[in-house]
Structure 1
Amino acid sequence: MNGTELGVLVFFFVAVAALGFFAARWRRAADHRHLHEWGLGGRSFGGWVTWFLLGGDLYTAYTFIAVPAAIFAGGALGFFAVPYTILVWPMVFIFLPRLWSVSRKHGYVTPADFVKGRHDSRALSLAVAVTGIVATMPYIALQLVGIQACLDVIGIGGNGSTWQKDLPLFIAFAVLAAYTYTSGLRAPALIAFVKDTLIYLTVIVAVIYIPTRIPGGWSHIFDAAQSHLTTPNPKTGKPAGSILLAKGTTIPYATLAVGSAMALFMYPHAQIGVLATKSRNTVRRNLAALTAYSLMLGVIALLGYMAIAAHFTAASLNGNAQHAVPALFDWAFPSWFAGVAFAAVAIGALVPAAIMSIAAANLFTRNVWVDFVRPGASPQEQTQVSQLASLVVKFGALIFVLSLDKTTAINFQLLGGVLILQTFPAIVFGLYTRYFHRWALLLGWAAGIVYGTLVAWWQSSPTQKHFGSQVATIPWTHQKAYIAVTALVVNLVVLVVANFVLKAVRAPAGTDATAAEDYEFEEAAEGTTPQVASAVL
């Protein structure tokens, strides 16, 4: 065990945990009993807070651990994450301000609230809510895997009994659960300042310093990566990959990028950062400014190639590519700065995990508990239910971590994408039109979920019998694609056919609770309180 690295990591870990508890006193709510205070930070975040909150929310342990690990293991295909984050910002700039406006006007706390109001369908709202909750759990699990990878490299949990290996996950779970329960969304919003500062510091130092530790610098890094990735594996007889896309990987690469971009802001944790802002202009400005993170992601991805050039192999990492970046930091940096880098990864996991659990808890409270169990629940009861639900969501994430193969953690995020992308028609189409019948949207969602889940279940890998890959063969072709995209195609086909039939038989379409002008609504006048939906009054 490296005592210096552990000491620095523990220092920052304790500091941000204390900051998380202090956040309950930061921007203290006038009435903390309302769910929009605990779950949306009072809808009061301005430009700087939102920029750090969204950055801390969207650039996670997936960014720092899973993406470089995928590139370390397979080369160029793992770079799909870079164009994915380039595509996403202009895409969401178009529709997210509309979601903010209608949610602000009607006091919606979750995207499922909007779906219910727009389409007059509790069943469709429930489908969106349950999908959001389930899809978020493997994403939270990915954050906990990032923490465990750092602790393994430091020397804690890497060897020993099963409970010793998993102990870091339970510690992270306990700390995360405690400050999320007490402080709500204010905790990750405040901690995000520390998280982003540490990550930018680590990335800048890594991209400048690590190549100086490798003879030949960047030229050798790319040469070593190409040589290593194209060498046939003795067990399979096939190369692991290449620094350029190999034949047959263009469609998987493109669909992974496009599908992930379409799915990102369908996640409830991504939308909660938008709904928590105080104005529509704040949303616009931040969506434009957040493109700076895409440049950082491209640099982070190259850490996978640096690990290859530093002579790390799957065997030297005990078969776990998730250790590539932590092992690289441990090798290249002095112990004290390696501890800072590990702290950046750990805090970079805690912030989004907190936001994800809050977003999922809000969905359960508003769209399951209030709609189907306790329609008359008081504001205080809703807040308490959401606090407890956030604990249950984290427990579900632990089950994902303990039951799925952690050596390919990027699958955790991609598996969530297969599910959450099926809510795209109900949410995004609904922001512009009610042409599609509510029952058709529900049938399309069901078809996409069933197809995507079954196909993902059938995929195996050398280390996992089920859910081993999120890329599969397109039916009736020899091409492969991201399962989320093919499932969305199934969803849309069913949606169009069912919509035609339902309109032909004049099935009741329900009543739209929104008006056209609601989608252009600006912030309330200075000093006024945001409207709270009737369900929480």
Structure 2
Amino acid sequence: MKITIALLLLLVTVVGAIGFGRAKAKKNKTVADWAIGGRGMGTLLFWFMNAGEIYTTFAVFGIAGYAWALGAPAYLAFCSVSLSYAIGYVLMPKIWRAGRSAGLVTQADFFAARYDAPWLGVVTGLIGIGALIVYVQIQLVSLGLVVSLTFGDSISPLTAHILAGLLMVAFVLFAGLRSAAFAAAVKDVLMVVLVVILASTVASKVGASSLLDIFGMAEAMHPGIGKLPGMDLGAPTTSVWLITSALNIALGNWVFPHLFQISYSAHSPTAIRRNAIWQPVYSLAFFFIIVLGVAALVAGTQPPEGNMNAALLQFVSNKYPDWVIGLLAGTGFLLALAPGSVLLLTAGSIFTRNVVTPLVPNLSERDGLLLSRVALAVFAVIAVAVSLLQKGSLMSILLSAYSAIGMLAPGVFLAFMWRRASAAGVVCGIVAGFIALLAPFAKGYWSATLPEWEPGLLAMAINAVVMVGVSLITQAPGQAALRLGPKAAQP
């Protein structure tokens, strides 16, 4: 039964998404139509598109696994989402206005136009593609776990990853962003239904009298699990870690190329602001997801090889009937496929517009659209290959992706705040930031002197300081470019 339910949910969603996207995108003749839905998404569709990229496999399996393994550090989910939308309320309308006024499609388009430097679009585009491929890993790793739960040993990890890559491509290959928006809506509805079912029954599954009693039982078994640093008293996951990690995620969230690009797709800044106001309420679902992770710990759940990513899957498999397992599996498929398809779509459009077009300036819209679709498929292959080698937790992959994309954050924020910000400043800041993030001597220094601080935030701060210093001694962009900067913030 569980296999039938999971496959049925997946099949109906794939067919519906492709059909919806094709019906709404009959004039899908340009990269802009395909990649940002013709800039016409209303409040409701934009809501699901936006939430679809926040509520991924990490939001369910990663957070639940973190609660199972560490306890209180899972509270990071609450802090980072709330901060992200507070920043998004201010930043996303500015991105939208810049995109509308200059016909921008990708984030790298913005860097090239705002800083009057096409070469900077190439640099930031390549960084964005790399970060997106890392982010796709989260979806593929999780989907492999769901397939193992549903099909057992009848499907190998290689086969599961290949099928996942093919489905991600299928979602958006022809109909583009609109198909992904439909799949995101179905996925979000299923996620809410699933969380309600599990949260309303989980206490009885572990012998607790209420949801809060589950925390009491966990505290009795593992004293201190409900407060930082969590189960491991020697871990660096203190309040400083929570604050710096949440800030790193919040500042990097809308800088991710796919979320930056989604900002262009709204039909008005009002749709963006409405989402930013109400989405933090939606994030209360994290409370129930954390409860489920703690319940798995109380129940003595032991996922295969102690893999925290599989803790919730194993718990549901042990305690619930097949139809619930099938619902979880089907939802898990969509939690991976819908966001993953947008990540690949974004990477494909960046490659065409910001890597190829500067070298082939006369590329037609038709050829550009074809090339974007081919690039999307190629990046799916790369993501599958990389994910098969990935053994880290979903949280560690996520923080790595945010640390990498955070190197573009100073260039985005200062673009809207400071007229003097220059292209040379951006690239020098990026170089300095990556050295501070990746160089062995820097890693050793941070771990020895500031072990509780998120390294990505420290690297971002160094990046910003260097960018400001270099911008002060280099030529500022021309007046035409500045219309996408501070003035873009004005109504």
TM-score bracket for the superposition, by shorter chain length = over 0.9
Distance 1:219 1:286, change over 3 A: closer
CA distance in 1, matches of 2:217, 2:311: 15
In structure 2, what is the equivalent of residue 171 of structure 1?
163
User: 1:174 Cα shift?
Assistant: 1.3
**Any conservation in 1 of the 2:167–2:337 contact (CA below 8 Å)?**
no
TM-score by length of 2: 0.92
d(CA) in 1 for partners of 2:442, 2:337 = 29
Within a 5 Å distance, the mapping from 1:8-407 to structure 2 comes to 8-30=5-27, 32-157=28-153, 164-217=156-209, 218-229=211-222, 241-242=230-231, 249-313=238-302, 316-371=303-358, 373-406=359-392
Quote how far apart the aligned CAs of 1:122 are: 2.0
User: Which deviations, in whole Å up to 9, do the C-alpha atoms of 1:338-359 show, x marking residues without a partner?
Assistant: 2112211211111100111111
Q: Distance in 2 between matches of 1:247 and 1:143?
A: 27
Q: Does 1:482 find its partner at 2:478?
A: no
State the Cα distance separating 1:370 from its structure 2 match: 0.8
By how many angstroms is 1:62 displaced? 0.8
1:326 Cα offset (Å): 1.0
Q: Verify the 8 A CA contact 1:58 1:270 in the aligned structure 2.
A: no
Going from structure 1 to structure 2, the CA distance change for 1:227 and 1:179 (only over 3 Å counts) comes to same
Q: Secondary structure at the match of 1:486?
A: helix
SS of residue matched to 2:38: helix
State the identity %. 22
Separation in 1, partners of 2:108, 2:236? 41
The answer as to 2:428 corresponding to 1:440 is no
The structure-2 alpha-carbon separation of the partners of 1:124 and 1:310, relative to structure 1 and needing over 3 Å to count, comes to same
Letter aligned with residue 413 of structure 2: V
Deviation at 1:261, TM superposition (A): 0.8
Is the Cα–Cα contact under 8 Å of residues 63 and 297 in structure 1 kept in the other structure? yes
CA distance in 2, matches of 1:252, 1:76: 12
Superposed CA deviations along residues 68-126 of structure 1, whole A, max 9, x for unmatched, are: 11121112122212111011111111111011011111110012111111111123222
Cα separation, 1, equivalents of 2:421 and 2:87: 21
CA drift at 1:496: 2.9
Deviation at 1:510, TM superposition (A): 4.5
Q: Which amino acid aligns with 2:469?
A: V
Shift in Å, 1:247: 7.4
Deviation of 1:273 after TM superposition, in Å, equals: 2.2
Q: Does the 8 Å contact 2:236/2:452 carry over to 1?
A: no
Alignment check: 8 A CA contact 2:108 2:121 kept = yes
Q: CA deviation at 1:26?
A: 2.3
Q: Using the alignment, how far apart are the partners of 1:305 and 1:436 within structure 2?
A: 47
For residues 25-62 of structure 1, what are the alpha-carbon distances to aligned partners after superposition, in whole Å with 9 as ceiling and x for unaligned?
221343x2211111111111111111111111221001
RMSD between aligned residues = 2.6
Q: Tell me if structure 1 keeps the 8 A contact 2:415–2:486.
A: no
* 2:407 matches 1:411: no
State how far apart, in whole Å, the 1-side matches of 2:439 and 2:383 are.
Answer: 21
Of Structure 1 and Structure 2, the greater helix share is in 2
356-365 or 215-224, larger mean C-alpha shift: 215-224
Structure 1 unpaired stretches of 5+ = 233-238, 459-471, 523-537
Letter in 2 for 1:115: F
Instruction: Please tell me the residue identity of whatever aligns with 1:293.
Output: Y
Measure, in 1, the Cα distance between the counterparts of 2:159 and 2:471: 50
* Separation of aligned partners in 1, 2:55 and 2:442: 27
Contact 1:415-1:456 within 8 A present in 2 as well: no
Summarize deviations over 1:451-500 as a string: whole Å, max 9, x none: 32335996xxxxxxxxxxxxx86276253321210111221232233234
Asked if structure 1 preserves the Cα contact closer than 8 Å seen for 2:114 and 2:477, the reply is: no
Q: Is the 8 A contact 2:89 2:273 kept in 1?
A: yes
SS of match in other structure, 1:202: helix
Match for 2:422: what amino acid?
A: H
| Partner Cα separation in structure 2 for residue 197 and residue 455 of structure 1 | 44
State the shift of 1:520 in Å.
Answer: 5.4
Q: Counterpart of 1:436 in 2: which secondary structure?
A: coil
Amino acid in structure 2 at the alignment position of 1:319: G
C-alpha distance in 1 between matches for 2:441 and 2:453: 12
For 1:6, which of 3, 7, 30 is the aligned residue?
3
What's the CA shift for 1:432?
A: 2.6
- Rounded Cα–Cα distance in structure 2 between residues aligned with 1:518 and 1:478: 38
Q: How many residues align?
A: 487
| C-alpha contact 1:77 1:245 (8 A) present in aligned 2 | no
- Aligned partner of 1:497 in structure 2 is 469
Does structure 1 retain, via aligned residues, the 8 Å contact 2:229–2:238?
no
- The 1:290–1:248 alpha-carbon spacing in structure 2 relative to 1, beyond 3 Å, is closer
